Structure 1
Amino acid sequence: MHSPVGEYLQQILSECAADDGAVADYIPELAAADPDHLAVALCTPDGTLYSAGDAERRFTIQSISKPFAYALALRDHGIDAVLEKVGVEPSGDAFNEISLEERTGRPENPMINIGAITTHTLVGPADLDEDARTARVIEGLGAFAGRELAVDEDVFASEMSEVWRNLALASLVRANGIISGSPEEAVRGYTRQCAALVDVRDLAVMGMTLARGGTNPLTGEQVVPEEVARQVLSVMTSCGMYDAAGDWLSAVGIPAKSGVAGGILGALPGQVGAGTFSPRLDRFGNSVRGVRVFERLSRDMNLHLMRIPEPSLEVIGRRERTLRGRRLVVLQGAMDFASAEMALRHFERIDPSEGDVVVDIGMVSTLNDVGRRMLHEGLARLAADGHRVIVVDPHGRLGDLGGGRVPYIARVVPDREGM
């Protein structure tokens, strides 16, 4: 069978192809872009890629680099140290405004230019020179994409010819003591970072790397720690689409970042990474057709971050019964806080006078850290009530029960019907 996902993406492109908006004309090289290019790509958690349209067309990453440079700075120095230099509050301003906190003088967030220039200087050790720091950023962007990225030297030179406003922004944060190096070096490095070449498939993989907690789905590399990915996704949600962030969160509901070359990257935790490309921009600097494509994906595939999940009413499987004098409890589905809490309430109803309790988690599809800790505690309390607890865990999802210190809990991996 041929998967229909690619055909679905092609259909979306054909239905979102109206030609309003205009290319970024304040950068000469971007002003010359073909406005008719249109592409979309999706990446699943296991690294499967789907794409449609001009998916092989490469373009400069521009501001989509901002969340990834922020991630690298967080990886290198920790969240607290980076927060001393760059805040996380939405500015409500355009991407190139002077958005500084009155009390501290630090930039409002890392998704606007003044914050992104600052963030670039925080990647790597403080004593790195300009070339080494920029190389570290480009290498890091490539780790997120799963391949080595090149820089478009023509776009870099073109942007450097119109760099005056960014140079003024860098001078402000230097005057406030937020950065310590020269503003010229910071702007050159940031501008080269923005000139890295990607396509929509790269964006989809980069988005999925964040959505998988920092693990690249193609290479398996843990590019940044999970807590860094969570922090970046949080800031993208509130600040990634500039002064249109509220409209985006309401209509699309996918953490995202746009770039003035026409790209948009989306990352929905645990589900999908997405990339679109279309050079025509709206008044906020976001791709007009890219926004439409994301709206369709969110609506058609129910990908909104605030989607109400189905209630976990079937945590306890129908196979619960007494089997050869033992109480058999079969757990199933995704085991998170809500479903694990239901399982604990079920454990509560097991009378202390009953004998052995067999807890079968072979039908549990996923088990996060919270669900695992809650089940560990529930099993320990069943044992404390005098039950001999036997855990059927064929996939090893529970890990070490009690760290070896709870000998009255045993794990077995038998044939279920032969217990």
Structure 2
Amino acid sequence: MAGLRVLDIATFVAAPFCGTVLADFGAEVIKVEQPKGGDSLRQFGTISECGDSLVWLSEARNKKTVTLDLRQAEGAALFKKLVAKTDVILENFRPGTLEKWGVGFEALRQINPGLIMLRISAYGQTGPKRDEPGFARIAHAFAGLSWLSGEADGPPVVPGSTSMADYVSGMWGAIGVLAALRARDKSGRGQFIDLGLYESVFRLLDEIAPAYAKYGTVRERMGADTVNVVPHSHYCTQTGEWVALACTNDKMFARLAEVMGRPELAKEFPTSAIRVQNRDHINSLVAQWMAKHSLADVITLTREGGVPCAQIYSIREIFEDPQYKARGNLLRVEDPRIGELVVPAPIPRLSETPPEFRHTGRPLGADNEDVFMNLIGLSADEFRAARASGVI
């Protein structure tokens, strides 16, 4: 993505994560923040010795950082100068906010007809809820994911990470940006990408929409189980560790039956439909077998038998696992402010043009002089005046 310039004027994670992905692959991403305080992500999560959060140091990686108050007329004017030299803008304000400041998409495309703008908001740019606020937790609830998360007889719970919708939206946003760039290659015209946080999650929920539309099926919470497949759950070993087991088809179940020393089970319960009808019984058989074997034995036996099975890891086990080490998933980097830091390595790997980590999230306004003076040509006096007035 070298040669692509991106203005990230968004906050927190969703749209900015799109910028992180693009920056990992070489795009010049300029993070634009409010002069006082900057992006709230700097104070979200564990605060490090430098005053910025670990989330900021990791997720604002590879980005230049500048400060600019878009709410002031002078700030909007400087922003438009940046837009004239930009390919992509990332924003996640409530719909209508940029228009109120005079820097909405239609106004900016008059300056730069090839401009691409990613617009992520809670509910998208249209519809009766367009003006309502929202975060990832709200998206999980509205999209139907929280309803599915938890034990059958318990309340809805957080589906893993409270920020999942934000990260997923950032990835969908990156797909949209890449598609828009491809379209611009042919037409020369830019466009905006409209994405609601809840849509990013809803699109991932397999068959729940067609199953309800066709048969009126409302999927309920099932704990660790899976709706159409058994055994496909979490089980506790004799030594107290939990493992995930996935028997997604008849062949896998036959392999598991052999591993358990119960090959007759494959004949007694030959299809997924039959196993689903006998869910509790089969889960009980698997749980009893797991409870008689140590974690090491379970992992060895299932691996030798060709049955997908893995220990359920905390971050401690992740740091100790040789697969993570072999793949370089835990990247040790040096931050000039706090020293050594371990962050998730950029993905995906490309054989010819892999992503790379250049630096951690930078201090507030670290690149002001470079961007405002060298990129858009402010004089030293103009730069000092803008800074003194609070525009920068």
TM-score range, shorter chain: under 0.3
Q: Given the two structures, how large is their TM-score scaled by the length of structure 1? A: 0.24
- Structure with greater contact order relative to length (CA < 8 Å, sep ≥ 6): 2
